[in-house]
Structure 1
Amino acid sequence: MKKTTLLLILCCGLISMTDARAHGLNMTSANITLRQHNHLSLTLATSLTELFHQLEWQGKPPSIAHLVADEAKLAEFHRQLVQVFAEQLTISIDGQSLASRQTRAPSQAQLKQRLEEEIAEALLPPAHGHMPHNDAVHDDKAHEPQSHEEYQTLVIHIDGFMPRTAKAEMLDVHFPPALGPVLTNYSEPRSQTLTPGADGSSLQIGLKH
């Protein structure tokens, strides 16, 4: 892999940070990784409920409960999701589209299951409100805040390769407005095999500050 500096431009068109939910836990997260052999992957986690509210299409039901109860409307919602991530979320390198791109999204059946889980969680009262005192004392995790990932109910995986003719100077990822504020993380992990000698093996890495 070329030792190059990639300028990551995140075009999140018309995103207002005032739409972020409490502490950013409902914020979309995107982990972008450039690995060896010019392989690029993006894992995106977002709130399925929030995405339902943000998307608009003809015949959209008034609530998730109505959506789950109608297979035809659920199928249309699934189609809308695929369109958002496969077509509206674009990835390019030096102005060229990602080669051999694959977008993996939940199937319609998996989507329905996750929506039903969200409905069930919304109907259940907070667990700590009815926890016996003794249990609360011994359960160290009872009052721990939920992690960012636990708030996200939709995970999308996208991957592909840099175009062969690209100079690898600029990575451009465009997130559709429906995803709201996006918390991004970019990394270039490098792996190598160390062959031990008489004194073992050593790894030296120059750290940038």
Structure 2
Amino acid sequence: MKNAIEESLTALPRLLPEGKINEKALPAAFHERFPVLLIGRRTQGTIWPDHSENEAALECYREGYKALHEEQDAVAAMRAYEQALEHDPLYFRAWVDLAIASLMDNTAESIEKAEGIFSRLCAIEPDGEWLTREVASMLRQNLGYTRVVRYRRTGDRTYLELADTEYKLANALAEQERLELLCPWAYVKLERGEKENAERLWERAKKATVSQEVLAEYVAKYVPLRLFWKENQ
């Protein structure tokens, strides 16, 4: 499986912190209360491939994780993860968290970077042991999200179709219902004019949610979902 990473990943250019857009993010307190809903936090769980055995790479990874999740400094996190990958180019968790940090940095360059990383990671076939189907599903889900962000940036509806495809693939691989898959996918369906499909996803999301407060925060992020929120109050 290490060979699969080596074949799929290539070094991507470092970023310039320019071109940020007004992409509404879920509040930090949301992830503090429900950390399992953020893929970056999940890299600390047991479903992910092991950390690097290279101590220098692991130390850089820890610095990146602290910068990203404690200090909310995406740029510092990216630099640390890139340094980790210089020590160990096959460090799977560092690649995943570098993509997450790039998404959080939210510039044109960083979104492109995240998309490239997720695309390469998604090319690795899950084997059920080293790379589980659930991890593969989350990678697909986040690749879909990069396409949602691109749609919001450009208005190009091609990205909606690409996002829809990734969410379908993520759903096929998923071993449990996840709001961070179902809610943006419902948003994509609404934007494509597929209200009935969107409503079915919304119903699944309602069943999967841990609280109405969490669901409301997703509605705030994906405003068209207010349609279902009002209908179900």
TM-score by length of 1: 0.22
Normalized per residue, the structure richer in strand is: 1
Give 1 or 2 for the bigger CA radius of gyration.
Answer: 1
Normalized per residue, the structure richer in helix is: 2
1 or 2 for the larger relative contact order (CA 8 Å, sep ≥6)?
A: 1
TM-score by length of 2: 0.21
